[in-house]
Structure 1
Amino acid sequence: MSDVRSRSYFLGLLPLPERQAVARALRTETVGGLVLLVAAVVALVWANSPWSGAYEQIRDFHFGIPALGLDLSVGHWTADGLLAVFFLVAGIELKRELVVGELRTPATAALPVIAAVCGMAVPAALYAATASAGGGSLRGWAVPMATDIAFALAVLAVLSTHLPAALRAFLLTLAVVDDLGAILIIAVFFPSDLNPWALAGAGAGLVVFHLLQRARVRGWWWYVPLGLAVWALMYNGGVHATVAGVAMGLILRTIPDPGEKESPAARVAHLVHPVSAGIVVPLFALFAAGVSITGAALGEVFTSPEPLGVVIGLVAGKTLGIFAATYLAARFTRARLNPDLAWADVLGLSVLAGIGFTVALLIGELAFTDSQTAEHVKAAVLIASVLAALLAAALLRRRNTIYRRLYEAETVDADADGIPDIYQQTGGPAAAGRGGQAT
C-alpha cells in the first residue's frame, strides 16, 4: 500500500463538504466586499468634497446612554458596537475551522497556520524596522498584520478571476488565523483603563452563555439580551468590546446534535453573516475610511516613518512572509504543490493577502491617539491595500485561463445529482489523493 502522506497535495481538490462550506462563506463575503468597496469610495469622496464638514459632524455626533457609560460618537459606535457583529462571525468561522475545517488536525493546519503566522510576524517586523530607522513610533506595529478577506474577494469578483476552491480556502484560512491574531492583539495590547468588576461581569455573562449552550436552550430572547449585556460590560471593563463578539462566536456549538438539521453556530452564521458583510463592515468603512487625500497627505504617507512602515508591511511584508513560509513548509514536509498549479499562484495569493482594510483601520485607530498621525496611517492602509490589489490583479489575471479550467472542472455536474462529477470519478484526482491538503 502506498503511503498516503507521500501522495498528499497542497492546494489540491478539497473534500466536498469542506468545499461546500467554503463556497457558502465566500459567496456572502464576496457580495459584502463589493458593498465595502462602494462604502470606502463614498467615504473618500465625501471626506474630500465641499460637504466634508457634514461628514465630520455625522461621524462625531454623540448619542447613547451616558448612565451606562455608552455615550459614543457615530464613528465609535460603528467601531466598538457594530464591529462586534463582524467579530462574532469571525469567532464562528474560527470555531468551525478548529472543529470541522482545515484547522481541526495539526497535520492539515500546520501549513496555513505557519503561513499566516509568518504573514503577521514579517509585516510587524518590517514596520518596526521602518519606524525605528525613521525615528517614528512603534505603536503601529500591529496595523499591517491582518488580511481583509471581504476586500480581497471583492477584488477577485471585479477582476472576474475564477480561483479554484483550494486557493480560496487557503485565503480564507489565512484570514481566519489573521483574525485570531488581531483579536489577541486588540485584547492584550490595546486595553484602556481596566475595570475588574465590569470584566468579571462580562466573564460571568459568558459563563451563562456557555451553560445555556450546554443545556441546549434555544430562543433569541435568551441570547440577544445576554450578548448585549456582555458587550456593554466588556466595553466598560476597558477591553475592546469586539472581543465579546469573538468569545460568543467561539462558545456557540458547531456540531449539530442527532436529529438537528444544523448547529447553533451555523444558524447564527446564516442569519448574521449577511448583516455583517453587507451592513456592519460597510458602515464601519464609511466612517473610518474618510481621510483627507491631498498632495501633502500622500507625501506624508511615503515620507513619515509610521505610514511608510504600514505600506511596506502590508505590500512587502505580507507577500514575503506568506510566500516564504509556504514554500519552506512545503519544501521540508512531504506535501507537494498541486501539479495543476505553480508557485506563481501562491505568490499571487500572498500579494492579495496584503489587502488589510477593516481590521488594519481598526487597529490604526486604537494605536494612534494623535489625530493627524492616525489619519496618515489610515491613508497608508488605503494606499497599501490598493497597491496590493493592483499587484495581485496583475499576477492572478495572467493565470486566469488555468483557474477557469480548474474551476469549471470542479463544478461540472452532468448527471444533475447535486454532486460535481469530479468527486465521483474513480481513479480521478480525488481518488489519487488530491482531496487532501498538506500534511
Structure 2
Amino acid sequence: MSTPTAVKAVGNAVRAGAGISRWKLYLVMGLFTLALVAAVRVTTGANELDSPGSLAAAITATCPILLAALGGLWSERAGVVNIGLEGQMLLGTWGGAYCTYWYGPTIGLLGAIGFGVLGGLIHAIATVTFGVDHIVSGVALNTIALGLTTFLAEAFFSDLNSEYGHGGAQQLTGIQKPPVLDHIPWLSNAASDLADKHWFVVSDVAAFVAAATTQVSIVTYLAFALVAVTGIVLWRTTFGLRLRSCGENPQAAESLGVNVILHKYAAVLVSGGLAGLGGGYLAMVSSPGFHTNQTNGRGFIGLAAMIVGNWRPGGGLIGSLMFGYTDSLRLRDPSTIHALLLLIGIGLLLFALWRLYQRKYVGAVMIAVFGALFLVWYAVTDTVPRDFTSMTPYVATLLAVSLFAQRLRMPKADGQIYRKGSAG
C-alpha cells in the first residue's frame, strides 16, 4: 500500500461520522429529556421519578456500567472486541476488597485497577499476540474470572474478622470506603429545599444538583471525569489518532509507521483497568463490601451502553445513565415505576416522529409500536409487578440495542485478527 493511499485510508476512516456539533446535540437531548420527565412527574404526581434520592441511587448504579462502557470503548476503538469486561470487573471486585482490607481504600482502588489490567493483559496476549478469536477469549476470561474470584474469596476471606472487615467463604463486608463529599455548604441544602417544592423543571434541576453534591464518593466524580479524559485522549491527541486508526485500518496505520501491536496492547490494558475500577466501585462504594459474582452482568450492560452510544464517550455516558437509572428502579415504589411506563411510551413515540422526519420508515414504525405498547400498558394497569422491576436493566439493554442498531457504526476493523507485516 503506497504512503498517499495509506494516509487517505486512515484519514477517511478516522474522521467518518465525526459530527462537529455532537455535544450540542447531547445538550439539546438532555434539555428535552428534562422537560419530558418534569411534565410526566407533574402529570402523574410521581415525585420520586427524579427526586434527589432517586437520582443519587441512579448515579451510583450508573458508575460501574459507565466505567465498563469506557473500557469497552478504549479496546474496540483499537480493534479488539472485549467481551471479557465482565471478567475484568469481577477481578476488580476481589482486588479492590483485598487491597482495601490490608492497605486502605486508596490502595484498594489501585488494586482494583491492577487486577483489571491483569485481566486485560490476558485478553491482549490471547487476541493480539496469538490471534485467538476475540469472542472466544472474552468468554473464556469471564469463566476463569468467576471461578478464580470464588476460589480466592474462599482462600483469603474465610478467616478474616477484625475492625477492618468481616470475611466469609463468599464475601468480605465492612471494609473502609473511599472519601465522600458530605455536602457543599449552602448549595446542597438550598437545592434539596427547592426540589421539595415540586416545581416544573426548576425542582427537577434542583434535585439533580442536590443528588450530585450530597454524600457523593470521590470515585463517582472520578468516573464521570474519565468520560472527558477519554474523549480528549482519543480524539484530541496524536496517540488517540493512532490508536483509533488501528481499529479502522491497521494495515494502513502500520504502513505509516504506527506500532499497531503496541497501541492495541495499550488500549486493552486501559480497558481492563477501567473495568477493574468499575468492579472496585461495586465492592467499595455502592455495596457494603465484596461478594462473589458481584457484577451480575454489568460488564455486558456496559458493553451494550457503549454500542448504543455508537462507540463514543458522550454516547456511552447517555447509555450508561439510561441503564443505571433502570438498574436503580428496584429501589423505587410501584407508583413511580408505573409512571415510568408513560415516560417511556411518550419518549419512544417522539423518537419515532424524529426517525420518520429522517425518512427512516422501518425504524420509525418499529419504535412507534414499542411506544404504543408502553402507553397501553400504562393505561390498562395501575402497578408494575415487582418481579419485572428486577429485570428492567436487561430488558432496557435488549430494547435499546434493537432500536438503535440501524444507526450504529462500529470501527471497521473491530474484531479482526491482525498480523504484523500484513500491510505488504
TM-score w.r.t. the length of structure 2 is 0.27
TM-score w.r.t. the length of structure 1 is 0.27
